[in-house]
Amino acid sequence: MRAFQLHESKVAPGSRESIYLPAARLYNDAPMDLHVEVLHGVKRGPIVLVCAAIHGDELNGIEICRRVANQVDPTRLSGTLMIVPVVNMFGFIQQSRYLPDRRDLNRCFPGSERGALGSRLAYLFNTVLVQRATHIIDLHTGAIHRSNLPQIRVNMDNEVACEMAEAFNCPVIMNVKDRDGSLRSLAAELNIPLILYEAGEALRFDYTAIEAGVNGVTNVLKMLKMLKGRRTRKKVKPVWAQRSLWVRSDSDGLVIKLAELGQTVTRGQVIAQIAPPHGGHSSDVKASVTGIVIGASNIPVTNEGEALFHIACFDSNEAPLATEMVDTFVEAYPNQAVPLHD
């Protein structure tokens, strides 16, 4: 087994190295580096890239990366693991989803060596890391004030990516098409299987989502024969959803939720009520499809037209299976009030 070379560094078999890729400089001339943890195994195998915080305020993935890096022993690893806990270091410092110029880094791929900041950072990430990878796991959360049920998003046209998605062990797998400028789109162009894990809320740690993410990444590494051993936690047979939609408020006022993340709802079911703050009659918000609630707003006030619930759609005859799988997942990952130790 040869040493793994990344940029100007070499990582010996069975070892772990921290590699810093010069990315940009701040106004005060302070350097900003892209920090990569490389775990190089003792046997040949895939090269897996695990990355988080392409959106700088999505913190769960950072903790997932930290735990995976600390738990994987490179002397027992086949292949190579490249872990980037913080891709958008600018947004992370500012606790913002975006880059300093308000651009979304996940719309800047494949990037440009001579472009704006986002294009340059995307170009560096693409040429040094993405193009070295054989598989990618991209970690995300919901936006600010929005929580996501742990879920995998994948382009179901890619057979290997679907196998990775099922191995991850989430209750819901969403079929998503590639968006221009996204890491997903770049991976598709390069024919690299990629899955995207969504769980929790921006700027918050959700320890259930973190534990599920750590086990999910480990499960995928075992599926790829990079690690030995059985997959962790109870086997969840996921519900595969071909599409999803947001249910929006049709009036203004206070939001009284009647449905929660992971709940199976049927078309026409009342899932919330909008109440006038000064009293009076409330209006019902009804599910427009049958499916499972995979995302929800956490703000108990709304204006007309604002998104309240994200529902993954499936046939009504799949409702019992969806409920069973969420129950199995909840049993496997009971709500964690305190962080788990490494």
Cβ atoms of residues 238 and 151 within 8 Å: no
DSSP state of 105: G
Q: Which CATH number fits the domain that encloses residue 63?
A: 3.40.630.10
Average pLDDT of every residue of the chain: 93
Q: Computed from CA positions of residues 260, 261, 263, 266, in that sequence, does the dihedral angle turn out positive or negative?
A: positive
Residue linked to tokens 């409920």:
323
Residue at 209 is within a domain: yes
Q: Which CATH number fits the domain that encloses residue 258?
A: 2.40.50.100
* Residue 89 pLDDT greater than 90, yes or no: yes
Q: Are 39 and 89 in the same domain? A: yes
Cβ atoms of residues 139 and 60 within 8 Å: yes
Given its phi and psi angles, is residue 200 left (phi above 0), alpha (psi -120 to 50 degrees) or beta? left
Q: What is residue 233's predicted lDDT score, i.e. its pLDDT?
A: 67
Q: Are 194 and 302 in the same domain? A: no
Strand, coil or helix: what is 91?
helix
Q: Are 234 and 256 in the same domain? A: no
Per-residue confidence at 342, pLDDT binned at 50, 70, 90? low
* Residue 267 pLDDT greater than 90, yes or no: yes
Q: Are 217 and 274 in the same domain? A: no
Q: What is the mean pLDDT of residues 169-188?
A: 94
Residue at 333 is within a domain: no
Cα–Cα distance for residue pair 11/19, rounded to 1 Å = 9
Per-residue confidence at 269, pLDDT binned at 50, 70, 90? very high
Tell me what percent of the residues of the chain surpass a pLDDT of 90: 83
Of 88-102, 125-139, 225-239, 286-300, the range with the lowest mean pLDDT is: 225-239
Q: Are 250 and 152 in the same domain? A: no
Tell me what percent of the residues of the chain surpass a pLDDT of 70: 96
Query: Residue 173 sits in which domain range?
Result: 4-239
* Residue 292 pLDDT greater than 80, yes or no: yes
Per-residue confidence at 341, pLDDT binned at 50, 70, 90? low
Q: What is the mean pLDDT of residues 212-225?
A: 97
- 7-60: pLDDT as tens digits: 999 999 999 999 999 998 877 888 899 999 999 999 999 999 999 999 999 999
Give the max Cα distance, the chain.
Answer: 73
Residue at 326 is within a domain: no
Residue at 160 is within a domain: yes
- 118-167: pLDDT as tens digits: 999 999 999 999 999 999 999 999 999 999 999 999 999 999 999 999 99
Residue at 330 is within a domain: no
Find all residues with CB under 8 Å of 212, minimum gap 6, and list them. Answer: 150, 169, 170, 199, 233, 329, 333
Domain boundary among 216, 239, 262: 239
Residue at 74 is within a domain: yes
The alpha carbon of residue 334 and the mean position of all alpha carbons in its chain are separated, in whole angstroms, by 20
Q: Are 115 and 143 in the same domain? A: yes
Q: What is the mean pLDDT of residues 241-257?
A: 95
* Residue 336 pLDDT greater than 80, yes or no: no
Cα–Cα distance for residue pair 15/72, rounded to 1 Å = 11
Q: Are 234 and 253 in the same domain? A: no
Residue at 318 is within a domain: no
Q: What is residue 109's predicted lDDT score, i.e. its pLDDT?
A: 97
Cα–Cα distance for residue pair 124/133, rounded to 1 Å = 14
* Residue 250 pLDDT greater than 70, yes or no: yes
Q: Are 215 and 255 in the same domain? A: no
Q: Are 57 and 187 in the same domain? A: yes
Residue at 342 is within a domain: no
Domain boundary among 239, 254, 274: 239
Number of domains in the chain: 2
Q: What is the mean pLDDT of residues 217-228?
A: 97
Q: Are 230 and 254 in the same domain? A: no
Q: Are 47 and 84 in the same domain? A: yes
Query: What is 14-26 written as a DSSP string?
Result: TEEEEEEEEEEE-
Please give the radius of gyration of the chain, using alpha carbons only, rounded to the nearest integer: 21
Q: Are 234 and 247 in the same domain? A: no
Residue linked to tokens 């204006």:
303
